[in-house]
Amino acid sequence: MTDDVESTGEEKKSGAGAGLVADYLAAPKKKQKTFIVLALGANFSGELESALGKYFKELGKAFVVVRPETPEELARQVSRHIQLMILDDSFAPRDRLLKLVRFMKEKKATIGLPVLFLTREPKEMTTAYRQILLAHQENDDYVDLKGMTPINLIARVKQALEYKNRRRSRRFKVALPISFQMLGSDAWRKGTLVDISLHGGMIATSDSTLSFDLQSQVRLQIPISDVLSPAEGEIFRLSARVRRLSITGASAGMSFEHVTERQMSLLTEFVTNLAAAQSTERDVENSIVKSVD
């Protein structure tokens, strides 16, 4: 694996005693390095690979490009600040690769992890994607390499790098009766979860005596027995914070907080099953393509 890492900060000046402290406090802090992860299969087009290398070289120090050579090396990139992963779906067996991507996305759930897939089998890729990564589709896109020219591939990569307004995950419309509790109150109230994603949801209530407040914390109890295996229990408990309010204050958009790895795994399965129940394969293909429009 090659890793062309260069420091973007200035070296701290030398000095003695108090001067060292003063110099340290005055010196600009090093910027956090931002990475592009590029994982290509052994049979990837040399012409397209050369075009990518030239494009990344032109970006200069804006990004550090890493080239993992094995799935294990790819997994280790999860600790880095990744702007984009570009993955040839022949880099590893497709199901293994997509499950590895799901693992990495769950680890990076709070900030998102966009992926641009490169494939010569778009039908097979999107079918496998639907089974493994459906809940994450808002962050992802794919390129059909058949007939792809270097200039068009670079345009797609540039678009994926520059897109700033993607959501961390797609919302799915639901109508689930839930119970919730405002922090500081002992009372459990009834409401309806009207949409959900991996990172939050919208709750509505018909209780005329209740009005949500921005930034307030809420405990949620979501029934899951109709969606997940009975072994997972009947109720899924999550903590959330109110981020958006309707004009009446009777509905609120919330972000999930303090989500453990186990909760994220269960939430991913829950959202994926809900999404699969209401989405067609064509919907998935369109959603992935439109995610960077």
Q: Which residues contact 238 (CB under 8 A, 6 or more apart)?
A: 219, 220, 222, 256, 259, 263, 267
pTM above 0.75, yes or no: no
Residue that wins the pLDDT comparison between 130 and 38: 38
One-letter identity of residue 153: L
Domain 2-168 carries which CATH code? 3.40.50.2300
**Could you give the residue range(s) of every CATH 3.40.50.2300 domain in the chain?**
2-168
pLDDT for residue 290: 39
129 within 8 A of 288, measured Cβ to Cβ = yes
pLDDT for residue 167: 53
CATH superfamily of 172-259: predicted glycosyltransferase like domains (2.40.10.220)
pLDDT for residue 9: 39
**Could you give the residue range(s) of every CATH 2.40.10.220 domain in the chain?**
172-259
Distance, CA of 49 to CA of 227 (rounded, Å): 43
